[in-house]
A = this chain, B = another copy of it.
């Protein structure tokens, strides 16, 4: 049905439609889009187009109709609830030219749902049992609105299979289980001919996107010729490399591609899929049974907060000090007032004493210290805004690096904490030299 090149597996042409005026006004993030696309892609079903429109019946009817003219499967989220801005059922019945009929099984479920909670069922709730005639009804185990699957009316021009429309409820706690327990099994049953699909995302740090491409693409050429897809996604200081392939050889092709990238990029790769740099660092520390403390000035607690975002961080993180003032650098970390007066708070010497002080006073195997000038004010010719010193203390001594991070405050804090985490990660890798 969908266009395929000779020798290629057919791909299922899927479109996703998210409805909600709050999306169009930018009041909420479209988390459904990311989550649903991710679930589908991880099972080999890549969404080709996603559309969002407001909760207006005319808009919903138009985008659903257009999507069904292009795709084999159209999935909608939202608009199935009981309130006046839930219009998907009506819009679809109207588009398909079919009536809404009451589903007796859903009525019974709704009555049982309210009875189990000792609540009277509001009359308006009953509208959720009205379904376009001909729809499969998917029971909602976690809420009131059922999911619906319905083939589009046949255009009557030959033997081609009509596209399917699947309507899913909007609340997250109803949508997620319905996708896992109903949509994905239904897809495997309904579209079994889709090719095996394998993907891996390698997360790298400190290699710019264009340099990454120059480094890996020539060597990946033979695998790309055999069907390997390569994609890049840049974040501040990081690049994700995504490798994917379809068909019976998919696993071998992706594995070979991954070997090439790991060989060319080496220890700049810190993790796969959704792993964060702080997770990688906490994992290495936990594996080696070592602990870390932090002393932060210009990052203001961001480094500590990132480390403690990782479940299990308490096993490796003893604590930290945010020493915005010179008084605290002296009082809590034992930085010498002479060093502060001679070199200034933003200096290699102060970073060194902060790290050494944090390590001994907080009693950890490692200590990271950060001092710098976030700006916008405070720069000098010698130390312009963005100047940062990061120190890593351990039993054998203290190493210090200097960076120039010219970013706005939020990105500055992220990038600087990223560099500190990376400095520790490199130190924890097998074969790393001691200072």
Contacts and interface: CB of A to CB of B under 8 A. Distances in A.
Interface of A: 20-31, 33-42, 46-55, 59, 63, 81-85, 122, 124-125, 171, 173, 199, 201, 209-211, 213-214, 217, 231-234, 236, 240, 242, 294, 296, 299-305, 307-309, 311, 313-314, 317-325, 327-328, 331-332, 361-363, 376, 407-411, 413
Contacts of A313: 300, 324
Contacts of A317: 300, 324
Contacts of A410: 309
Chain A binding site: helix, strand, loop or mixed by DSSP?
A: mixed
With most chain B CB atoms within 10 A of its CB, the pick from A51, A234, A301 is A301
Contacts of A325: 318-319
Copies in the complex: 2
Contact of A47 (B24, B201, B240): B24
5 contacts: A24-B37, A49-B51, A85-B231, A122-B214, A300-B313
Contacts of A171: 234
Contacts of A36: 26
Given A30-B33, A319-B321, A305 B301 contact: yes
B21 A231 contact: yes
A311 B362 CA distance: 29
Contact of A53 (B49, B209, B363): B49
8 tightest CB-CB pairs across the interface, nearest first? Answer: A300-B308, A26-B38, A301-B304, A26-B37, A301-B301, A301-B305, A27-B233, A320-B322
Contacts of A30: 29-30, 33-34
A308 B322 CA distance: 10
